[in-house]
Structure 1
């Protein structure tokens, strides 16, 4: 079976990687069922990489339906050590504008219906999660984004992860802002927790697509807005 040390998990609007050569699709079976889709393994600039669309090609899976345990297990089984999540998010700060990138360094969990650990059935494992993202990988992503020169990227910030699939009410959006949250999405958890249990270096490139619904002078977030901005 082919191997790759770098894995990319694509979010809404990102269902394949451009510029990948020597492509091979691999279907992985895991103890936790099937991953979101087949995993594409190939090379980008000569570097072996694995790509998995989080929601499946065609966006078949809602955030609560994403088989995160199977996804992380499958990447780990292919030799992945560095996992890069690309996620569409809403901005909770005026200075984080649509099309900006954010490399968050903290998480706030507002999910409620998701399995958040590989360990169950009498096996309990506690992991440190004070710093939910790999700082080394986060720094590399920040540096790479800045080198592009044509994108505005923000260092650090708190990603609040809601259950979905409905977007926030205005009351919720404003409360998150008052609590000091910076961006909001639906997919960072339990993915980040499972990556920690699997001992993967994990970080997020968060792509702001909208201002959620708190910004009165802007249109409230919609599916077309999220997918459209993510594909730009």
Structure 2
């Protein structure tokens, strides 16, 4: 079992990761967001990729999701934990909080969203009823329990196009649809991992209340401040995950 971490906004590198190497890779779908970094946490090896590049420069709708996921599979990853900064919609989703979503609604558009598009021998469909790996989610939840990190265990992630933030009425619609979180990178990343039979789960770090949930304008200064707190918790959670024997690289 080989674990990969995809880091989102606020997580272009993992503190405490002992880097053992890095590799650039060209895929049939172009170049990934950044070089793949190999490292160790608590003696456990993993692969890390900065989703938005390093430095952070690629907006959500321009990320080459297909190259990112394909490259991880080529390098031997079997399990992917994707860390993402999100807005909070549900009443428990306060800034700095961590949620482990179990469902997703895709509001994005115009993205290259499948590997099964060209030169096919037959039309291919995947079951996406449960978009996140139940086994990998359980491991994350167990690590949170072991380390005393407060999380929400069930939540629906709504993926918007970006890079702009949403309007108040868009968030109201998403709340009516059942979304607890709003982010911009959850799809097609999750579906692409499923197409390649990779276990995939998400750690959502709430950076701000979504539009209209509380009064006032959403500012980048607010987001950055909240991410410092939330991403520190996420890194602690990743370190706790690395202590689980099920994720030991053999």
Do both proteins adopt the same fold according to a TM-score greater than 0.5, normalized to the shorter chain? Answer: yes
Assess if the C-alpha contact under 8 Å between 2:94 and 2:206 holds in 1: yes
CA distance in 2, matches of 1:22, 1:59: 19
Question: Is it true that 1:58 corresponds to 2:55 in the alignment?
Answer: yes
Using the TM superposition, give the Cα deviation of residue 28 of structure 1 relative to its aligned residue in structure 2, in angstroms.
1.0
Q: Which of 166, 172, 181 is equivalent to 1:168? A: 166
Hey, what does 1:197 align to over in structure 2? 195
Q: Which residue number corresponds to residue 93 of structure 2?
A: 96
Distance 1:215 1:72 in 2: 34
Structure 2 gap segments, 5+ residues each: 230-250
In the TM superposition, what are the counterparts of 1:217-232 in structure 2 within 5 Å? 217=215, 219-232=216-229
Q: For residue 183 of structure 2, what is the aligned residue in structure 1?
A: 185
Report the aligned-residue RMSD.
1.4
**1:39–1:52 Cα contact (<8 Å) kept:** yes
Deviation at 1:23, TM superposition (A): 2.0
Instruction: Report if the CA contact (8 A) 2:19-2:37 is conserved.
Output: no
Deviations 1:13-43 (A, max 9, x none): 1001121225211111111111000010011
Count of matched residue positions in the alignment of Structure 1 and Structure 2: 227
Classify the secondary structure of the residue corresponding to 2:194.
helix
Measured in 2, the distance between the counterparts of 1:170 and 1:46 equals 46
User: Partner of 2:96: helix, strand, or coil?
Assistant: coil
The 10-residue stretch of structure 1 (61-70 or 89-98) with the greater mean CA deviation from structure 2: 89-98
Query: 1:150-172 CA deviation, whole Å, 9 max, x = no partner?
Result: x4200111100000000000111
Counterpart for residue 129 of structure 2: 130
1:119 equivalent in alignment to 2:120: no
| SS of structure 2 residue aligned to 1:209 | strand
Higher helix share: 2
- Displacement of 1:144: 1.2
Offset of residue 226 of structure 1: 2.9
State the Cα distance separating 1:229 from its structure 2 match.
2.2
TM-score, with length taken from structure 1: 0.93
Report what 2:146 is aligned to. 147
1:214 Cα offset (Å): 1.9
User: Partner of 1:18 in structure 2?
Assistant: 15
Deviations 1:157-201 (A, max 9, x none): 110000000000011111111222110000000000100001110
Shift of 1:111: 0.4
How far apart, CA to CA, are the structure 2 residues paired with 1:134 and 1:36?
A: 24
- Aligned-pair CA distance for 1:210: 1.0
